[in-house]
Amino acid sequence: MSQNENVLEISDLRTSFFIEGDEIKAVDGVTINVPKGKTVGVVGESGSGKSITSLSIMRLIQHPGEIVEGSISMNGEDLLSKSERQMQQLRGNQISMIFQEPMTSLNPVYTVGEQISEVYRIHQGLSKKEALTKSVEMLELVGIPSPKERIKQYPHELSGGMRQRVMIAIALACNPELLIADEPTTALDVTIQAQILELIKKLQSQLGMSVFLITHDLGVVAETCDYVAVMYAGKIVEYADVHSLFRSPKHPYTVGLMQSLPRHDIDQEELNVIEGNVPKPGNMPDGCRFAPRCPFASDICEKRLPDLDELENGNKVRCWIYSDEWDGKAEVNVVDDYKTAGNQ
Amino acid sequence: MFVFTIRRILQTIPVLLGVTILVFLMMHLVPGDAAQIIAGEAASQQTIEQIRERLGLNDPLPMQYFNFLLNALQGDLGTSIQSGQEVTEEVFSRFWVTLELAFYSMILSVFIGLIAGIISAVRHYTLTDALTMIIALFGLSMPNFWLGLMLMQWFAIELKIFPVSGWGSPEQIVLPVIALGTAGAAIIARMTRSSMLEVISQDYIRTARAKGVKERYVIYKHALKNALIPVVTVIGLEFGTLLTGAVLTETVFSINGLGRYIVESIQARDFPAVQGSVLVVAVIFIIVNLLVDISYRFLNKRIDLN
Amino acid sequence: MPETTIHQPVEKPRNPHIENFKNIVKRLKKNKAAMVGGFLILLFVITAFVGPYLVPFSAGEQVLVNKLQGPSAEHWFGTDHLGRDIFSRIIHGMSITLYIGFFSVVIGAIVGVIFGIISGYFGGKIDTLIMRAMDILLAFPGILLALGVVTILGPSLNNVIIAVGVFSVPSFARIVRGSTLSVKELEYIDAVRALGASDFRIIVRHVLPNVFSPIIVQATLRIATAILTAAGLSFLGLGAQPPKPEWGAMLSDGRNYIFDAGHVALFPGLAIVIVVLAFNIFGDGLRDALDPKMKS
């Protein structure tokens, strides 16, 4: 993968929150690229740092949070060295973002039209009238019926799915190169979820943008992503193209996530859940952060944090099982042995 | 919205009636014979009897209340014992002064309070915020009559910038308005700050930032409009506090307003005057709050996030 | 920032009685302003009891030749128009101020809590009746209600306490009613009722402890208001009567001599500010510690 194919390159990003003198490392050394025109998914449980990663890209981390280290560059330009003013010109223009909560993400005191037009007025300097005309077009594009009437409405007059469409319209108004979608469908009904994902996919191919999709839902990943990063406790534990990931997941955590998905093809007596919780920041394990919950954990896992190593096919995994130093059971098949390993 | 307005107005009626009953009973709860007090210590039994007859004090209590209410509705609040004048006339001749005082103080409170509150919220976690809030806490803890006295001493007596007392000229207005408006400014500043902080952490503010909106507009366009809504209610309540706070400020600065009239009437045990003026202030306060409530509802219509 | 809080442990359904108290103390200790406020209040209470024995002059000791003197080594805060030592009088007046603040709020709280609980717990007509009555009381803004009560009862220290108490009733009733309503919704109250507990028992054992926090916060903040209101009434000559060293009454004296001796009005007023400030700071801190959601 040569450099200029990537729209976004994040390397060794560290974002922390400083609360009462303690540093809470929400994102702890994340490296990830988003190739042009592709969709990269970031999966993980709540607290894995995936949303903070996306807000870091936008440089929207608020006090007491701070980007401590690393670099984020878009088309070769370093975002972290840009002034706030320069970032404002990028946001909503070249990089856009949509959020998890469509119900609360729109400003209740302005009409839908005002909120979409604002983007055109800021970034393209359009007049009120021109901006409104464009807003109507945009609403039409995201599939909102009778857009001319809709632009006069306030957010509380729209359903959740409609509001998320409006959010998408706002985000895509200026034809951005990169769309960051932070759990865009989590708060919606299942049928609406599918529609919204379909819409994002359709517009992506129409407009040729790249998508950075944050989700905790592997089903969404399977449907939409080209590449996937699995995050756990502030670090990436596995990075792979979507086919390899689902065909042969490498990290025990990824396997755990997949086995916790409800399956339709076999009879299931119960859902498998990963036991335990994401470690608390004040209480990070010294070794692999997943070790306390990992059925394969051996001595080395508890002592040293593994690196994110590249595998033969170019995918990456942060797990001792695949290193020469592995001191556990010789032949481990993470998928087949996952359920039984813990019981030994 | 229309239904709400009508319902809210209808709800006010029992409260208004209750207020008149309470004010009416006030006069009758006073220990001793009202007629005796009105007639004075040396009055003959006959005079007292006449007064009693004239005021209808021999009628049954509900009858007396009914007459009182009927008269009040016609703008007749009785006759002042002290001056022999119509209470209604006396109240309204002084009322405008108090209203002016309260109004200017309100403007000062809202102006200073909003600015301080916004700055404090925007500069959250900084020294500016901490200092502003400490000053606000002081403003809240200061008796307005003491502040008035201190202002009078420094700016009127020592520095001679402003006159010591009275009301009317622009110079005379400054000190009483500061004295009366400070506490309100502090309350509005605290309210605005907490309201702004809450709004700033909302999702739609993040959306605005993600759109590339300049921080200045994020605050003044997207946040402020939402943050002001709860502040409106406080402003309504503050108005009532200002109306009665005038009682003390007017005493300090010898301003011939309604507040001072109430105090003088209480001191002189001029019950019809107390009754009339208290009733007027309470009714105005109820009406102001009714208006605030309706406008709050109107502003809040779009906010309903559910 | 949705994820900042995610690292916090998931809050367990808590036993509202015991666990709460530990948390409150812990959170209160972290709040520096509240600790300062609490410390000051403690200091004031000690002063109220011990102070009068330590100060150089009694409250009423007049030395007319020394009248209206400015602050000096002998008279730290100067003397008033009767040559009385203002510092000593302020210290003597501390107990009066705290007495008014405390008892008026206790009266207001007891009556308000009873009304609020009955209103919230039983609902229906009695709720409407009580709340309308509270609306009527609230229709008298600021010190107007207290003025009315003093008019009826006549000016005196104890009548001021009653007046300010009455003035505090609606705010307690409203807050307690709200809390009672939300407690009543809790599932465990249903369970307790199903076990055959009487209404009285449910109120005393289950509702009261749960509305305790808002009551304490409100009471602390109300003491500040009560002190201000009472001082205002005394300033108007409708409260504590001379020669009582009540601060509001002292200010009223100070007003008469403002042209010749500004310090007479300065110091009693400062005393009021500091005491009221302490209660406000402590009340704010308590509110943050007890119930972060309750911010006004």
pLDDT digit string, tens, across residues B216-246: 999 989 999 888 888 888 887 888 888 888 8
Closest among B231, B139, B169, B149 to B194, alpha carbons compared: B231
| Cβ pair B249, B101 in contact under 8 A | yes
Structural domain B95-267, CATH architecture: Orthogonal Bundle (1.10)
Question: Quick one: three-class SS letters along chain C?
Answer: CCCCCCCCCCCCCCCCCHHHHHHHHHHHHHCHHHHHHHHHHHHHHHHHHHHHHHCCCCCCCCCHHHCCCCCCCCCCCCECCCCCEHHHHHHHHHHHHHHHHHHHHHHHHHHHHHHHHHHHHHCHHHHHHHHHHHHHHHCCCCCHHHHHHHHHHCCCHHHHHHHHHHHHHHHHHHHHHHHHHHHHHCHHHHHHHHCCCCHHHHHHHHHHHHHHHHHHHHHHHHHHHHHHHHHHHHHCCCCCCCCCCCHHHHHHHHHHCCCCCCHHHHHHHHHHHHHHHHHHHHHHHHHHHHCHHHCC
The partner residues of A72 in beta bridges, in order of sequence, read A10
Structure confidence at residue B26 as a pLDDT band (50, 70, 90): confident
Do residue A47 and residue C6 have CB atoms under 8 angstroms apart?
yes
The partner residues of A14 in beta bridges, in order of sequence, read A28, A69
Determine the residue among A46, A183, A215 to mutate to test chain C binding: the one whose Cβ has the most chain C Cβ atoms within 10 Å.
A46
Q: Which of residues 224-263 of B touch C (CB under 8 A)?
A: 237, 240-241, 243-245, 247-248, 251-252, 262-263
Could you read off the pLDDT of B238-268 as tens digits, one per residue?
888 888 888 899 999 999 999 999 988 888 8
Write the DSSP string, A284-344: --SS-TTGGG-TT--HHHHHSPPP-EE-TTS-EE--GGGSTT--S-SS--HHHHHHHHTT-
Regarding beta strands A316-317 and A235-241, do their DSSP bridges make them parallel or antiparallel, or are they unpaired?
antiparallel
Residue C19 has pLDDT above 70, yes or no: no
Closest among A69, A13, A77 to A234, alpha carbons compared: A13
What are the domain boundaries of chain B? 32-73, 95-267
Question: Can you tell me the ipTM of this complex?
Answer: 0.87
Structure confidence at residue C208 as a pLDDT band (50, 70, 90): confident
What distance in Å separates the CA atoms of residue A219 and residue A240, rounded to the nearest whole number? 16
| Cβ pair C280, C223 in contact under 8 A | no
Could you read off the pLDDT of C237-293 as tens digits, one per residue?
888 888 888 999 899 888 888 887 778 888 999 999 999 999 999 998 888 877 655
Judged by a CB distance cut-off of 8 A, whether residue B175 touches chain C is: no
- Higher-confidence residue: A2 or A294? A294
Residue A344 is predicted with a pLDDT of 44
Give the residue-averaged pLDDT of A74-100: 92
What distance in Å separates the CA atoms of residue C148 and residue A1, rounded to the nearest whole number? 84
Residue B302 has pLDDT above 60, yes or no: no
Could you read off the pLDDT of C153-162 as tens digits, one per residue?
888 889 999 9
Residue B305 has pLDDT above 80, yes or no: no
Residue B192 is predicted with a pLDDT of 93
Give the residue-averaged pLDDT of A69-93: 92
Residue A60 has pLDDT above 60, yes or no: yes
Q: Tokens representing A322?
A: 């695949």
Residue C291 is predicted with a pLDDT of 63
Average pLDDT, chain C: 83
Could you read off the pLDDT of A235-251 as tens digits, one per residue?
999 999 999 999 989 99
| A neighbours by CB contacts (3+ pairs under 8 Å) | B, C
Residue C68 is predicted with a pLDDT of 73
What distance in Å separates the CA atoms of residue C160 and residue B247, rounded to the nearest whole number? 16
- Higher-confidence residue: C295 or A176? A176
Do residue C232 and residue B282 have CB atoms under 8 angstroms apart?
no
CATH T-level topology, domain C26-294: MetI-like fold (1.10.3720)
Average pLDDT, chain B: 86
Q: Strands of A22-35's sheet, edge to edge?
A: A22-35, A6-19, A65-74, A77-78
What distance in Å separates the CA atoms of residue A295 and residue A69, rounded to the nearest whole number? 33
Helix (H, G, I), strand (E, B) or coil at B94: helix
What are the domain boundaries of chain A? 103-173, 247-341
What distance in Å separates the CA atoms of residue A232 and residue A256, rounded to the nearest whole number? 12
Give the residue-averaged pLDDT of B4-30: 85
Residue C3 is predicted with a pLDDT of 35
Express as a percent the part of chain A with pLDDT over 70: 95
Structure confidence at residue C217 as a pLDDT band (50, 70, 90): confident
Regarding beta strands A77-78 and A235-241, do their DSSP bridges make them parallel or antiparallel, or are they unpaired?
unpaired
Structure confidence at residue B188 as a pLDDT band (50, 70, 90): very high
Q: Which of residues 57-86 of A touch B (CB under 8 A)?
A: 58, 60, 63-64, 84
Q: Tokens representing C94?
A: 């501390």
Give the residue-averaged pLDDT of B77-95: 86
Closest among B186, B178, B187, B170 to B105, alpha carbons compared: B178
- Which chain C residue shows the shortest CA-CA distance from B289? C139
Option in C147, C258, C268 nearest B152 (CB): C258
The CA–CA distances, whole Å, from C122 to B181, C115, C118, C126, C214 equal 41, 11, 6, 7, 20
- Quote the longest CA-to-CA distance of chain A: 70
Regarding beta strands A235-241 and A227-232, do their DSSP bridges make them parallel or antiparallel, or are they unpaired?
antiparallel
Torsion of CA B300, B305, C3, C4, to 10 degrees: 20
Residue A32 is predicted with a pLDDT of 92
Residue A167 has pLDDT above 80, yes or no: yes
CB contacts, 8 Å: B29 with chain C = 152
Torsion of CA A277, A280, A283, A289, to 10 degrees: 60
| Cβ pair A173, A113 in contact under 8 A | no
- CB atoms closer than 10 angstroms to residue C154: 12
What are the domain boundaries of chain C? 26-294
| Cβ pair A50, A24 in contact under 8 A | no
Residue B142 has pLDDT above 90, yes or no: yes
What distance in Å separates the CA atoms of residue C191 and residue B109, rounded to the nearest whole number? 50
Do residue C7 and residue A281 have CB atoms under 8 angstroms apart?
yes
Could you read off the pLDDT of C1-15 as tens digits, one per residue?
333 333 334 343 344
Lowest model confidence (mean pLDDT) among B24-38, B44-58, B184-198: B24-38
Give the residue-averaged pLDDT of C20-27: 71
